[in-house]
Amino acid sequence: LKITIAKWLTPNGNLIADVGLEPDVKVEMTEEDYKNYISNKPHKLTGIELTIEL
C-alpha cells in the first residue's frame, strides 16, 4: 500500500486544491467562434456533449 500526500501551492504559498486558479488572460468565444472551432473537429464535439451529460 502506497499513500502519497501532497499539497499543490502557488509560488506565493496559496493552496490550489478545491479553489483552482484564475487565468492571467481570459479568452471570450462568440457563438460563431465556438461553431467554427468544433465544426472541423467532430471528436471535440463528442467530448463536449459527453461533458454536458455529466
Average pLDDT, the chain: 81
Confidence of residue 50 (pLDDT cuts 50, 70, 90): confident
pLDDT at 20: 83
Q: For residue range 12-36, list pLDDT tens digits in order.
A: 888 888 888 888 888 888 888 877 7
Instruction: With cut-offs at 50, 70 and 90, classify the pLDDT of residue 10.
Output: confident
How crowded is the C-beta side of 25, counted as CA atoms within 13 Å? Answer: 2
Q: Provide the pLDDT for residue 34.
A: 77
Rounded Cα distance, 14 and 12, in Å: 6
Task: State pTM to two decimals.
Answer: 0.33
The sign of the torsion formed by the CA atoms of 40, 54, 23, 11 equals negative
